[in-house]
Amino acid sequence: RVLSTREDTVRLGPKRPPVAGGADASGHGVLRVARTPGVEEAVARVAPGLRVEAVDVVGPRTSLALRAAGWAEAAVLVAAATGASEIVAPGGGVAEAEVGPDGLRVRVRCGDPLDEVVLRSYCIGAAHMALGWVTSEGLVVDGSGEVHDLTIRSFGVLRAADTPPVAV
């Protein structure tokens, strides 16, 4: 087993396929996504009304092996367009999140938890990650697609201190 450094992982590891899309209130639309094997099928499982247009982009290699890559972006796009409050994962788990003046409210349905404290911790971590993902995170690449800035701050990751309270 080989463990890569953070810098090697950022520079050389696969990334989530970048996307750009739009959908109407019926959940139909277009999702343009970096050409990645299996992305059309992943999107169709959660957003059958989206037409996937795979495009060639300059940049790091992409992979669907990263957690929820491809389908999560499609599900969030359709939920925002249709006003749906729940996201249903391909495995059947359901999550709902709402941002309010007092913080985030998260609800999940995933079967009987083995440990409620662990489940709550995972939900808080996921809420933190999702909030950063949709508000501030990204990678900057040059014209040839190479990642240059390798600091956590440059990724736009939301600091824990800046995370609003999360109610699960």
**pLDDT of res. 153:** 74
Q: Which pLDDT does position 121 carry in this prediction?
A: 97
Beta strands 94-100 and 86-88, pairing class: antiparallel
pLDDT score of 134: 85
Query: pLDDT at position 82, please?
Result: 97
So what's the pLDDT on residue 29?
Answer: 98
Q: What is the mean pLDDT of each run of 10 residues along the chain (168 residues)?
A: 82 90 98 97 97 94 93 95 94 94 95 95 94 85 79 81 95
This prediction's pTM: 0.85
Q: Give pLDDT, residue 135.
A: 87
Q: 3-state DSSP call for residue 54?
A: strand
Q: What is the rounded distance in angstroms from the CA atom of residue 64 to the CA atom of residue 136? A: 22
Crossing angle of helices 39-46 and 71-82, rounded to 10°: 30
The domain ranges of the chain are 1-82, 93-168
Hey, what CATH class is 93-168 in? alpha beta
**pLDDT for 3:** 86
- Provide the CA 60 distance to its chain's centre, in angstroms: 17
